[in-house]
Amino acid sequence: MADATRFYIDGAWVAPTGSARADIVNPANRAVVGQVALGGPADAEAGIAAAKTAFPAWSATSREERLAYLEAINAALIARADEIGDAIMAEMGAPIGLARGAQAGSGPQHFAEVIQLLRDYAFETPLGSTLLQREAIGVCVLITPWNWPMNQIATKVAPALAAGCTMVLKPSEVAPLDAAILAEIIDSVGLPKGVFNLVHGAGPQIGNALTGHPDVDMVSFTGSTRAGIAISTNAAPTIKRVALELGGKSANIILPDADFAKAIPASVRGCMLNTGQSCNAPTRLLVPRDRLAEVEALASAAAAAIRVGLPADNPDIGPVANAAQHGRVVTLIDQACAQGTQLLCGGSTPPAGLEHGLFVAPTIFTDVAPDAIIAREEVFGPVLAIIPYDSVDQAIEIANDSPYGLSGYVWGADKGSARAVARRLRTGMVHLNGAGLDSAAPFGGYKMSGNGREWGRFGLEEFLEIKSIYGGA
């Protein structure tokens, strides 16, 4: 098992300055699988100082040098994919197939995309007589969540390295093991010291020291909207760039001409994937009111077919990732029931035989009012709200009536009509008829779902400044 009780700073493994630690708990059985050191301001200072010292030389490296390091890291991520997957299974409860597949596989996926992009990316382009130069923004603090841990790390570390930035990574203290493996890989490929630094810790103890530091040029954060607001406030006095990928309450509009037999089961499975712990999950299912009964039957059958179980048994969904989140999910389910919202299936009682872990059955509420708590709050668990609509215009209005704007989903037989609805959604992304994500396309949202973009060219350019050299073309 990877060691999260030490930090990687300035090219060496070092002990934290303090002695505080927290248990890493497997949510499937509540067993302690390791410990994570909880760093503080002195550890943040050391990591930032190392990154600052390393920046001039690293930012001056050639495209070819950076490509060589990225390719070496990617090869090692692929070679250690099962180990990374097993760490993710232990630390946040992802089923082994998902953990070794999409979870661990997302690291190489994003590194490979950045490698391909870097080979031909134009860091200098003419604009009339002016030469536009894109150059590394500087020292970056990267703060990542527990729900897709390697995915979020890779979408920040890979483009930051490609851009010529140096960095301090603080992964979630709830799921730090995969980040420790990445640091081992980076150490093994000989990346120059200080370019990549890893510290662990809880936000209140180390976060302010990282995000408010005057030597930090950029903060890239993925997590809750509440934490994103706090980070933005803390970073504001030093006018640093802050890129935020935050929460969501994504609407999934099933148009009247859609293939309901395909769209409804796929929508239920999409909501429940990763135990519903995805910021872009389609958690609001908007359906024609006159077909509500049909939708309920299809959704109930789809939920009943989802296997909940121990991650090592490779079920469809495993436990909720940690006790705090499990408590939130159960509380919101109970609040929705107390509010009178109709429970179609599931609920806050754990599935039979799984009471020892942090499990929640696939839960669906139906005939949900758009202003109901379960239709407004981001649950971040296996919970779906079915909301009926009377017209497509009303469906779009309901979809946009949210403080969030991360993703959207539209199903319809006529692609032109579905595309027209997609254009009216106030979200950063829209999936048509179950289309998957595209690692070359930008990932990010509107409104309280954040700002900036990750993935592909747009993700790389978050880590670049633009300089105008007048008369330089």
* DSSP assignment of 138-155: -EEEEE--SSSHHHHHHH
245 noted as active-site residue: yes
Strands (E), 257-362: 284-288, 342-345
Q: Minimal CA–CA distance to 49: which of 215, 203, 170? A: 215
Q: Minimal CA–CA distance to 267: which of 152, 125, 174, 386? A: 386
The one catalytic residue in 245, 378, 461, 462 is 245
Residue type, 373: I
Q: Minimal CA–CA distance to 361: which of 342, 332, 381, 387? A: 381
CA distances from 338 to 113, 246, 342, 375 (A): 47, 28, 10, 14
Q: Which residues pair with 140 in a beta bridge?
A: 167, 218
For residues 34 and 46, is the Cβ–Cβ distance under 8 A? no
> How far is it, in rounded angstroms, from Cα 472 to Cα 464?
19
The three-state secondary structure class of 21 is strand
- Give first-to-last CA distance, the chain, whole Å: 53
For residue 443, give the DSSP letter. B
CB atoms within 10 A of CB 423: 8
> How far is it, in rounded angstroms, from Cα 38 to Cα 57?
30
Q: State both tokens at 124.
A: 């200098």
Q: State both tokens at 293.
A: 């009964």
> How far is it, in rounded angstroms, from Cα 196 to Cα 158?
11
Burial 214-251 (b: 16+ CB within 10 A, else e): eebbbbbbbbbbebbebbeebbeeeebbbbbbbbbbbb
Residues with a known catalytic role = 245
